[in-house]
């Protein structure tokens, strides 16, 4: 097993390993206390890729043969499994693992998993304490000590799989990124948001989401964006603050306003810039105050929304 610690932060570690023994494979995942037994015939091959930092553990595990797996996580940890590839169905804690479901591991009672041949399972592990900022208290209580299959839409599971592939590709190709505190912070928030998406997703998110609830989400998002004042609010920040998934956020804005939340955030920031242009001495000062650093792109977005360049707004106001 090879470990590649980030020079600037030894707590962030990228690990890769390959085995030809299922017992050895069972010991590779850190903190899972697993045991494997091989069920289908043939010579076993396995591989694992892990990223560990702060309270987060990301992994992609590949196994060549059907296995009986048992184990448990440590107290206070919650894990979401993302099936990435398999040749058949598995059985997780008594439920059939097929399309549209994700294994959720947590608590003291452990899990049992009859895995299929040629399985690649992705995983995201974080502490309950960190996820408390992203998930409703009731859901956290329901997760405590229970391993189960969580139904989720294929779209959400596919997005989670793409996210894992992107993170590992970035860390392998550009190890220098791991030294950036900003990169680690954004990646940490993205992991929590991705886990929240899977854990809170409903196959039919429209059902039970009233017009009043959609309007409340939009109002709370607007208030949070305006209170921040510096233009640095992102989608993950809104999801964490409102304790909803990105899919629910998207649905609320699309249904209530006919626009996606990214466009709404951009419009609010541009409106804040427009107000600032009446108070400051330069376009640059107003743009950077709201986090616009690419001035050419900023000017295009401003003109697209208001029909004039920011310099035109400033000139007209200062002539008054």
Across the beta sheet with 111-115, what order do the strands follow?
35-38, 67-71, 111-115, 90-92, 95-97
pLDDT-derived band at 58 (thresholds 50, 70, 90) equals very high
- On whether the CB atoms of residues 201 and 244 are closer than 8 A, the answer is no
pLDDT at residue 288 in the model? 83
pLDDT at residue 246 in the model? 82
Convert the pLDDT of each residue in 124-179 to its tens digit. Answer: 999 999 998 888 888 888 887 778 888 888 888 998 999 999 889 888 887 776 67
DSSP code, position 74: P
Higher pLDDT, 292 or 217: 217
Alpha helix locations (H) across the chain?
Answer: 22-26, 128-131, 137-143, 154-173, 181-200, 211-228, 235-242, 246-257, 261-276, 283-289, 295-306, 310-319
DSSP code, position 258: S
pLDDT-derived band at 187 (thresholds 50, 70, 90) equals confident
Residue 191 confidence (pLDDT) above 80? yes
Convert the pLDDT of each residue in 77-132 to its tens digit. Answer: 999 999 999 888 899 998 998 878 899 998 667 899 999 999 999 999 999 999 98
pLDDT-derived band at 3 (thresholds 50, 70, 90) equals very low
pLDDT at residue 61 in the model? 97
Convert the pLDDT of each residue in 9-36 to its tens digit. Answer: 445 678 899 999 999 999 988 888 899 9
How far apart (Å, rounded) are the C-alpha atoms in residues 107 and 126? 12
Residue showing tokens 């470990």: 3
* Over residues 231-237, mean pLDDT: 79
Residue showing tokens 């076993």: 44
Cβ contacts of residue 52 below 8 Å, gap of 6+? 11, 12, 13, 15, 30, 58
Catalogue the long-range contacts made by 88-91 (C-beta closer than 8 Å, 24 or more residues apart).
Answer: 88/116, 88/117, 89/116, 90/114, 90/115, 90/116, 90/119
pLDDT-derived band at 212 (thresholds 50, 70, 90) equals confident
pLDDT at residue 18 in the model? 94
Residue 202 confidence (pLDDT) above 70? no
Residue 318 confidence (pLDDT) above 80? no
Residue 215 confidence (pLDDT) above 90? no
pLDDT at residue 11 in the model? 53
Cβ contacts of residue 306 below 8 Å, gap of 6+? 270, 274, 313
pLDDT at residue 124 in the model? 96
- DSSP assignment of 104-134 equals EEESTT-EEEEEPSSEEEEEEEEEHHHHTTT
Phi, psi for residue 103 in degrees, rounded to 5: -70, 135
User: If you average pLDDT over every residue of the chain, what do you get?
Assistant: 85
3-state secondary structure of 310: helix
Q: How many residues does the chain have?
A: 320
Q: How many CB atoms lie within 10 A of CB 123?
A: 21
pLDDT winner (highest mean) among 52-66, 142-156, 248-262 = 52-66
pLDDT winner (highest mean) among 55-69, 164-178, 278-292 = 55-69
């Amino acid at each position: 097993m090879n470990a590649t610690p980030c020079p600037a932060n030894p707590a962030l570690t990228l690990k890769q390993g390959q085995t030809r023994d299922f017992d050895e494979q069972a010991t590779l995942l850190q903190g899972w206390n697993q045991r494997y037994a091989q069920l289908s015939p043939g010579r076993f091959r396995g591989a694992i890729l892990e990223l560990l930092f702060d309270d987060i553990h990301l992994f992609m595990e590949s196994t060549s043969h059907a296995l009986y797996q048992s184990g448990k996580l440590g107290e206070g940890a919650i894990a979401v499994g993302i099936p990435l590839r398999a040749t058949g169905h598995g059985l997780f804690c008594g439920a059939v693992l097929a399309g549209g479901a994700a294994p959720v591991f947590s608590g003291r009672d452990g899990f049992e998993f009859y895995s299929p041949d040629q399985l690649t399972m992705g995983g995201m592990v974080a502490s309950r304490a960190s996820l408390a900022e992203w998930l409703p208290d009731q859901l956290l209580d329901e997760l405590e000590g229970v391993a189960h299959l969580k139904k989720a839409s294929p779209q959400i599971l596919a997005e989670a799989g793409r996210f894992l592939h992107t993170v590992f590709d970035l860390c392998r190709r550009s190890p220098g990124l791991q030294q950036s505190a900003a990169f680690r912070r954004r990646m940490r928030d993205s992991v929590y948001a991705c886990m929240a998406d899977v854990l809170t997703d409903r196959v039919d998110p429209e059902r039970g989401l009233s017009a009043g609830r959609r309007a409340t989400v939009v109002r709370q998002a607007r208030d949070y964006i305006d209170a921040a004042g510096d233009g640095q609010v992102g989608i993950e920040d809104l999801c964490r603050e409102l304790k909803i998934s990105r899919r629910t956020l998207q649905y609320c804005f699309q249904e209530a306003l006919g626009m996606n939340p990214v466009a709404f955030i951009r419009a609010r920031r541009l409106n804040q810039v427009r107000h600032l242009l009446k108070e400051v001495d330069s376009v640059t000062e107003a743009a950077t105050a709201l986090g616009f650093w690419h001035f050419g792109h900023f000017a295009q977005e401003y003109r697209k929304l208001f029909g004039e360049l920011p310099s035109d707004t400033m000139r007209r106001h200062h002539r008054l």
